[in-house]
Amino acid sequence: MDKRITLYVITGLLILGLLYITLFPGAIQAWKDSGKSIEDRCSPEPGYTEQSWNDHMSHHPDIYRECLS
């Protein structure tokens, strides 16, 4: 009986985690960028030109608010 409850709890947490990631996909990028300084966050990532990075940031104004002002 205890194994079933543990399995249900783990399954429920996995489902909630997947729902969160699905509904808030920018959360992962925001978490990755949370420790970076504004200069590092606003500078182009490898593989991006300055213009393509600015275009990318404009699609995510909630994450790159400081870079777009």
Q: By C-alpha distance, which of 67, 24, 65, 69 is closest to 45? A: 67
| Domain ranges, ordered by start, for the chain | 1-25, 35-69
Query: Residue 53: is it exposed, middle or buried by C-beta count within 10 angstroms (0-12/13-18/19+)?
Result: middle
Per-residue pLDDT reduced to its tens digit, 24-51: 877 776 677 667 777 877 888 888 898 9
pTM: predicted TM-score of the whole model, two decimal places: 0.50
The residue that leads in pLDDT, 14 or 68, is 14
27 within 8 A of 36, measured Cβ to Cβ: no
Q: Is the pLDDT of residue 18 over 80?
A: yes
Percent of the chain with pLDDT over 90: 25
How large is the C-alpha radius of gyration of the chain? Answer: 18
Q: What pLDDT does residue 1 have?
A: 66
Nearest-angstrom CA–CA distance, 57 and 44: 10
Mean pLDDT of the chain: 84
